[in-house]
Amino acid sequence: MTDPTSADQELRARRARSFGAHASAYAEHRPDYPLPALRWGLPAQAGHVLDLAAGTGKLTEGLLALGLRVTAVEPDPEMRAELVRRYPELPALDGTAERIPLADGEVDAVLVGQAFHWFDADRALAEIARVTRPGGTVVALWNHDDNSVPWVAEFDELGRTGVSRRWVSQARELPAHPGFEPFERERFRHAQRRTAQTLVDTIATHSHMLTASAEERAATLGRLYRFLERTPETAQGEFDLPIITTVIRAVRR
């Protein structure tokens, strides 16, 4: 998938590379994924699965909870080091979606949490098809704020920076690929227990915030914190942040 200008392409690449230096904060503050969403994406009798672009293991955690054998692939060495620190027994390999270091048909499913929008989709799907057995699945998941809740929608708008883009929304449509049946989509309600500070800390791990200028980042995070302090739903200590998890899956032909 491509963007219309070279400037957008450069910004996209910068944002994709922005997480490693903040790996421990990412691991601490990013939400996990609801287990019903993972079950919906997996094929029957799944055993060995690939967590592709695994980051610090936010998706891995749920896959292990389901009793699956998990192999992780992550290109960023700092993110991968945090993943290994959290799950020292887990195979964590250096690789990318476009060059997966696994054998043909090795896994029952490939799952991608919060990352498919960074891939070269056509090349990635060809590699994912190669390493997935027939009847297995590719599963892309995104957690995003539930903007049907008024305070969440206002908070989301206040958090936009000069490098914010809607790539993730656009990426929730994946291109057809001859290796897979047509994609299916489902949405799952989720929530993350937060305080004003921990929610602002979560936003600070988003790529558009990591790549904004220091001045814009500080101003935006301060604006968000003040909003949470004065909003009735969030001003009294802990609260649930409403989340929607969008899942797209397809079966390997």
Distance, in Å, from the CA atom of 80 to the CA atom of 229, rounded to the nearest integer, reads 35
- The residue type found at 40 is W
- The residue type found at 199 is L
Condensed to tens digits (0 to 9), the pLDDT of residues 32-44 reads 999 999 999 999 9
| Residue in the structure block whose two tokens are 């945090």 | 82
| pLDDT, average across residues 218-236 | 96
Residue from 60, 232, 33 nearest 151 by CA: 232
Tell me the CA distances in angstroms from 223 to 3, 200, 229, one per residue in order.
Answer: 30, 10, 10
**To the nearest whole number, what is the mean pLDDT of the chain?**
89
Condensed to tens digits (0 to 9), the pLDDT of residues 24-34 reads 776 788 899 99
β-pairing, 239-251 with 184-194?
antiparallel
CB 201 within 8 Å of CB 26: no
What is the predicted pLDDT for the residue at 14? 45
| pLDDT, average across residues 110-129 | 96
Give me the sign of the Cα torsion angle 73, 17, 83, 52: negative
6-145+165-193+242-251: CATH architecture: 3-Layer(aba) Sandwich (3.40)
- Can you give the pTM of this predicted structure? 0.85
The answer to whether residue 166 scores a pLDDT higher than 90 is no
Condensed to tens digits (0 to 9), the pLDDT of residues 61-104 reads 999 999 999 999 999 999 999 999 999 999 999 999 999 999 99
What is the predicted pLDDT for the residue at 208? 79
Select the more confidently predicted residue: 6 or 228. 228
The domain limits of the chain are 6-145+165-193+242-251
